[in-house]
Amino acid sequence: MLDILFEDDDLIVINKPAGVLSIPDRFGKTLSIKSLLQDKYGNIFTVHRLDQATSGLIIFAKNAEAHKELSLLFEGRTIEKKYLGLVVGRPEQSGSIDGSIMEHPVKKGQMYIHVKGKVALTTYEVVTYYKRYALVSFQIHTGRTHQIRVHAKHMGHPIIADEIYGDGEKLLLSSIKKKNFKLSKSEEEEKPLLARHALHAHTLKLVFKEKAFAFEAPLPKDLAATIKQLDKWNAA
């Protein structure tokens, strides 16, 4: 479960799988990366979080001093954080979304863009265009809850399979191959290529204690397989 990409005396970098919480929920009964780390190391400090369905890079601190310094780096926008995401439609080649974000007053657990929200800035660049989708590299310059997902919706190109900010429809191979798709004889029902929102925390760069760090999390199997099929059947 713990895919440790790097660790030293101060920090530990994990490649988080989709579907696992970053930190325990309020009941403390659901498996999380932090609880697994606590079982292994004892004291562990939260620096930032990833949504449960988002995969990729997440950093935890091993001591209070490192926690304080890393938290200041994240708050001070001096860390370069890039995500890879598959979006619906074909956005412009590059751009930025500057929209303040706050919690929705009625819809619990949902964020939205509002002038009274916290400042949020995302820049993006399209990596690959497909016929009906695009693979996009997002860089977040602030760290708001659901930031990329909210901003992707705002620009009219929600993250594929996003249940809150998109249509929530799982991506099926039949929707990519169209006429060329056939169920195998052993299958009664088609299994989705991608059953969670298509977002992966891909790279992270920072300078900590006068030392430069650069981390990269390889694509998980579901996203890698989806991109492979899109390259094959849905090329622009």
Q: Just list the catalytic residues.
A: 51
How far apart are alpha carbons 81 and 74 in whole angstroms? 10
**Position 151, amino acid:** H
How far apart are alpha carbons 41 and 66 in whole angstroms? 15
Q: Are 28 and 69 in contact (CB under 8 A)?
A: no
Supply the DSSP symbol for 192.
Answer: P
How far apart are alpha carbons 182 and 177 in whole angstroms? 9
Report angle CA 104, 18, 42 to the nearest 5 degrees: 95
Beta-carbon contacts of residue 34 (< 8 Å; ≥ 6 apart): 22, 23, 24, 44, 46, 60
